[in-house]
Structure 1
Amino acid sequence: AFEVVVSAGFRSTRRGRMAGSMWLRCILGPHLQRIHRSPDQSRPEGRQGWSYQPRSLEKHTDSIIGWVTLWSLSYYSSPLLLCYLYRKGRLCNYMFVFHALSVFAFFMPPFPPSFSLPGWGRWKNSEYLQFLSILEETKKNHTPTNKVLIFFPHQWEVFVQCCESVLVSIFFLSSFLIAHSFGRRMLYPGSVGLLQKAMRPMLLQGQARLIEEFDGQRNKLVACDGNEIDTMFVDRRRDGGQTGQTLVICCEGNAGFYEVGCMNTPLEGGYSVLGWNHPGFGGSTGVPFPQNEANAMDVVIQFAMHKLGFQLTEIVVYAWSIGGFTASWAVMSYPEIQSLVLDASFDDLLPLALKVMPDSWRPLVQHTVRQYMNLNNAKQLLKYQGPVLLIRRTRDEIITTTGPEDVMSNRGNDLLLKLLQFRYPKIMTDEGVRAVRQWLGCSNPLEEASVYSGYEVDDDWCVSVLQSYQADRDVLFPWSVGEDMTLEGRRQLALFLARKYMRNFETTHCTPLPASEFHSPWRL
């Protein structure tokens, strides 16, 4: 597959004082595969090409280098193999082999000095010396008569490739260790045993309150991965109210528990409520990695349908902060769910992870998040067709990338823009996005009202336009409404939709949401 092409005839080479420098160039030189026939047919050696025949020393040491390269890769990738065997429970079966290899590795360095041996064989080969002379002359003068194309790496390039393989192995191993050690605990501090121990009296008190005051029913659900998910259900259907017929499934934050978390907000609003704890939180077992989170959410929905007797159209999913991942996964996987409410949530974890880690770690953070902690809420949300309400904390200090004083760095803004741009692409043109961004930059209701009135938004006209489009077509998002509309009309619709899909709450990230701020999402 690789060859060296020499289209010029050999020229006479100097054989003078080249002992040290020529030997070094022979060591570092590329492989010579074939000597093609020369265009000069008058020369005897140009009538027919021939394959280069390395001397025995060069030929055998090439084989040695191949084995050394393989040994080096095995030598440096052994930590990955050890981790794999440990996780599979087979480490003890192979300990004798590892002991033997470790003794061998102690006496044999990963790269022996055999790289210099082919240079000696080449130095004694006149054909290789002629080739090397033409190659060096071409590099210096770029003469068109001597065209040399080199595609095969020499020994030191093999050495560099081995080093690169070692660095790549270290990179992937570091990513794995970060994700499964402090990375996971930073992302889900509620899974840390020390924090749970400190909160245990509070959790027990909250659990007792739910059971004794609200007649809550505690259940353990077994997810498909074997994790036990601790849940609490409060049934309000027998109270006779309309809200009690609706079940609100609550998804807690990264340090939240159903005993003291966002479950209390819909509970105070009179809804039937089903709360659950992340894997590794409270009475739930396991570790809160994305797939385990999705498995937990799946068994909670199945429990609500098949054991509690709720239809998907009677279920509202409500999430706070990082709970937006499981909530968006739920509506993506069960599109018949009635509606979704996301409080203080974000579009993607990666920008927030980059904010708290050193800039020099950027490639490592990107790979770790995408490989092990890929909480891409926006991507999942765009696959849902139902009503959505986003609640933005205007003084949020957690999901902002620059600080709570900069409301435009709140990643909830990006979640709203991505949702609107997907559902209404003809409205959310550059002018529409610019108007919505101006509205998002407001940090209090007075500023919002000023921007809204400045664009002279007519709510009744916006509703009529959208209802007319919906009546004429039975289509899913994205809609093409707004494609034949004036610039002013698109701006009005963009601001109208932004205010319907998002509500502002003037507080910080961890302030409990009052029941008065919990609303059903807007429906056309």
Structure 2
Amino acid sequence: MMVSVFKYILAPKLYKQYGVGSCQVLYEPNSLEKWGDQILSTLSLMWNIGYYTSPIILTFLVRRGYFAVESMLSLVKFAAGIGVLLMISLCMRGIGRSKSDSYVNFMKVFNKYGSMPCAETRRALALFDFDFRSWPIDFEISQARNSKTIFQKLSRMKFLLKSALPCQVAAYFAVQTFGIRMIYPGCVKLIQVFIEPVLIQGRCKLIEQEKAVRYKLKTCDLNEIDAVFIDNRNKNDNGKILVICSEGNAGFYEIGIMSTPLSKKYSVVGWNHPGFAGSTGLPFPAQDENAIDSVMQFALNYLGFPLENIILFGWSIGAYSTLWAAKNYPDIRGIILDATFDDILYLALPKMPNMFSGVVELAIREYVNLNNSELVKQYSGPILMIRRTEDEIICTHENNINTNRGNYLLLNMLRYRFPNIFKLSQMELASKILSKPLDKLSENREDQECFSLLASYVSVNKNCYPLPIGETFNEIQRNNLVEFLIRKHLRDFKSTHCTPLPAEFFDLPWNISVETDFIPT
């Protein structure tokens, strides 16, 4: 009896059985399991609060003398009491689970897969939503890129070499403690506790309504990535194209941007950043790069999509993952960036006191250097950017579209790709154009001429950026091309930062194509 109960104590938490009731109907534990879980959840919540407020708590305990030898007994008694409460709640949970028909049924399926892993038992297990830590690994990346390993070693080496400098020490500990969680609030466990029911319901809708399949991917740094795939290949032509969605700093695939490409019947992969929901780790750049790399390898080797049929879609801070993947997989079909920025440093500095600007810059440049402007220059494929005209996050000054950091990303990209077109006077013109919504810019009669100039050049020369086209153009031609190229690479959406992107804005990125019957002029 005790052995059986012990197995249930250590078993994963069950959230839902798919196909039983609506998405709002979750697994209902009996009283014993419910109370046991409630106590454990409360203890976990207290631990998380204690973790984030540990400097204050430790200071209080030291000042009150609780770390003195004569006062240690009180702390020991408190810890022992918590330990007893923990053991009692675990036993309550185990006994309660062993008396629940639904949980016993889940355990039979779970144990059957453990003893006989195969496609059939895997499908049976997928009918349950349970603690992702106990989910089997579906895809493991076989070999890490050398560049990533070197980057991680150099980061640690830099800290060791410079640890004598106070600013370096402050920057390192700031990033490792609260800094990364300020940049990626979605990895804060307290937030995840509160939104967990919403994530479960969102996942249920994807699985039951969209026929999604959930997967666990293992990265080269041993993180486990929570991913989901919706296969529309046999439904229409759009389904032959795979859209890989990278969420924002508080976004989860369960309630994120997947809905936009799904509404146009593309096949879609969603994944959660390291430290988000079922994914382990923390969303530092190296871990995030390894995560998107495993997603790409999963799409290529496990799902069987060719690179030319893959579109990368990144929202907000997810543009970093998207651009990094595009740089390393340049033969993809294209990328779509929604509500993003050029360099996170310029978003972070205005939100911090001036006295800490040096430490903030040091911390970001050393440990969280999300510099999209540098990455976008290393990808030569088609790009479409979506700018939110009322974006309150990406603008450094509220309600001022001219300070939208997406403007700078676009201009940096276009200036790099077309250096002889975007000269100083044209950069000023481009800034003026971007200072107002593009819906006020309509297509003009010069568009055909602009396209002809670009297409005729590409038909004779290799389409490889930077393109030296435009050296002999006059000012009028350059100005027309500036407006033309901005409209081809950017679309405006009258919205704030977090509004879901409507399907009509999700178009394949424009590319300088040469039609078969085109005659160079």
TM-score range (shorter-chain normalised) is: 0.5 to 0.7
**How far apart, CA to CA, are the structure 2 residues paired with 1:436 and 1:217?**
44
Structure 2 counterpart of 1:334: 329
Q: 2:482 aligns with which of 485, 494, 497?
A: 494
Deviations 1:264-301 (A, max 9, x none): 11011110000000001011011110000000000000
- 202, 209, 227: which one pairs with 1:206? 202
Once the two structures are TM-superposed, the CA of residue 349 in structure 1 deviates from its matched residue by: 0.6
Instruction: Answer yes or no: is 1:445 the counterpart of 2:433.
Output: no
1:169 to partner: Cα distance: 2.7
1:284 is aligned to: 279
**Structure 1: distance between partners of 2:463 and 2:258:** 35
Matches of residues 242-391 of structure 1 in structure 2 within 5 Å?
242-391=237-386
Partner residue in 1 for 2:232: 236
Question: Within 5 A, what are the aligned runs for 1:54-93?
Answer: none
Question: Is the radius of gyration larger for structure 1 or structure 2?
Answer: 1
Does structure 1 residue 409 correspond to structure 2 residue 403?
A: yes
Local SS of the residue matching 2:234: helix
One-letter amino acid of the structure 2 residue matched with residue 311 of structure 1: P
1: distance between equivalents of 2:505 and 2:317? 19
Distance (Å, rounded) in 2 between the aligned partners of 1:253 and 1:287: 14
Q: Please name the residue that 1:187 is paired with.
A: 183
2:223 to 224, 227, 231: 227
1:518 and 2:506 equivalent?
A: yes
* Counterpart-to-counterpart distance in 1, 2:264 and 2:316: 20
The letter of the residue matching 1:190 is: G
3-state secondary structure, aligned to 1:504: strand
Q: Deviation of residue 443 (structure 1)?
A: 3.0
1:428 aligns with 2:422: yes
Separation of aligned partners in 2, 1:444 and 1:467:
24
> One-letter code of the match for 1:419?
M
Quote how far apart the aligned CAs of 1:437 are.
1.2
Q: 1:477 to 1:166 in 2, by over 3 A?
A: closer
- The 5-angstrom pairing of residues 136-155 of structure 1 reads none
AA of the residue aligned to 1:235: D
- What is the TM-score of this pair, normalised by structure 1? 0.66
Deviation readout 1:297-332 (Å, 9 max, x if unpaired): 000000000000001111000010000000000000
Q: 1:400, CA displacement in angstroms?
A: 1.1
- Return the alpha-carbon distance in structure 2 between the equivalents of residues 444 and 415 of structure 1: 16
Rounded to whole Å, the distance in 1 between the matches of 2:451 and 2:477 is 12
Task: Tell me, in whole angstroms, the C-alpha distance in 1 between the residues paired with 2:245 and 2:463.
Answer: 30
When residues 272 and 167 of structure 1 are mapped into structure 2, their CA distance, relative to the original with a 3 A threshold, is closer
* Residue identity in the other structure for 2:511: R
Cα distance in 2, alignment partners of residues 356 and 518 from structure 1? 31
Q: Deviations over 1:62-87 (max 9, x none)?
A: xxxxxxxxxxxxxxxxxxxxxxxxxx
Instruction: Assess, with a 3 A threshold, how the Cα gap between structure 1 residues 234 and 437 changes in structure 2: closer, same or farther.
Output: same
* Alpha-carbon distance in 2 for matches of 1:523, 1:176: 42
Instruction: Flag structure 2 segments of 5+ consecutive residues without an equivalent.
Output: 1-160, 513-521
Alignment of structure 1 residues 1-150 onto 2, 5 Å: none
Aligned residue identity for 2:212: G
Asked whether 1:465 is paired with 2:453, we answer yes
Retained in 1: the 8 A contact 2:420–2:468?
A: yes
Deviations 1:11-57 (A, max 9, x none): xxxxxxxxxxxxxxxxxxxxxxxxxxxxxxxxxxxxxxxxxxxxxxx
Aligned partners of 1:459, 1:414: CA distance in 2, in Å? 24
**Cα separation, partners in 2 of 1:490 and 1:167, compared to 1, 3 Å:** same
Q: Letter of the 2:503 partner, please give it.
A: A
Q: How much does 1:166 deviate? A: 11
User: Helix, strand or coil for the counterpart of 1:207?
Assistant: helix
Specify the code of the residue in structure 2 equivalent to 1:300.
V
Q: Give the RMSD, CA atoms, in angstroms.
A: 1.5
Q: How far apart, in 2, do the equivalents of 1:166 and 1:469 lie?
A: 50
2:412 to 415, 418, 437: 418
Whole-Å Cα distance in 2 between the matches of residues 166 and 180 of structure 1? 16
Quick check: 2:162–2:168 contact (8 Å CA) kept in 1?
Answer: no
For 1:463, give the aligned amino acid: F
Offset from partner CA, 1:84-139 (integer Å, 9 cap, x none)? xxxxxxxxxxxxxxxxxxxxxxxxxxxxxxxxxxxxxxxxxxxxxxxxxxxxxxxx
Please give the TM-score of this superposition, normalised by the length of structure 2: 0.66
* Counterpart-to-counterpart distance in 2, 1:351 and 1:474: 35
SS of structure 2 residue aligned to 1:238: coil
Alignment: residue pair count: 352
User: Once the two structures are superposed, what CA deviation does each residue of 1:202-242 show, in whole Å capped at 9, x if it has no partner?
Assistant: 10001011111111110000000000000000000011x11
Residue 174 of structure 2 is aligned with which of 173, 178, 183? 178
Matched residues, percent identical? Answer: 45
**2:497 is the alignment partner of 1:509:** yes
**Mapped partners of 2:162, 2:412: distance in 1:** 40
Q: Which amino acid aligns with 1:232?
A: V
Does the C-alpha gap of structure 1 residues 422 and 305 become closer, same or farther in structure 2, counting only changes over 3 Å? same
Paired residue for 1:485? 473
Shift of 1:523: 1.8
Find the residue that maps to 1:237 and give its secondary structure. Answer: coil
Contact 1:444 1:506 in 2 (8 A): no
Residue 444 of structure 1: CA displacement? 5.9
Q: Which amino acid counterpart does residue 416 of structure 1 have in structure 2? A: L
Structure 1 spans left out of the alignment, 5+ residues:
1-164
Read off the aligned partner of 1:473 and give its amino acid letter.
Answer: N
- Mapped to 2, the partners of 1:481 and 1:381 lie a distance apart of 20
Does the Cα contact within 8 Å between 1:393 and 1:509 map onto a contact in 2?
yes
C-alpha distance in structure 1 between counterparts of 2:416 and 2:496, whole Å: 29
> Structure 1 residue 170: deviation in Å?
2.1
Structure 2 counterpart of 1:437, one-letter code = S
Instruction: Give 2:464's aligned residue.
Output: 476
The one-letter amino acid paired with 2:454 is: L
Residue 325 to residue 478, structure 1, CA distance change in 2 (3 Å): same
Query: What is the alpha-carbon distance in structure 2 between the residues aligned to residue 259 and residue 515 of structure 1?
Result: 18
- Contact kept, 8 Å, 1:427 with 1:483, in 2: the verdict is yes
Distance 1:167 1:174 in 2: 9
> Following superposition, which runs of at least 4 residues in structure 1 exceed 4 angstroms of deviation?
165-168
Q: Contact between 1:254 and 1:322, CA under 8 Å: does it hold in 2?
A: yes
CA contact (8 A) 1:247 1:315 kept: yes
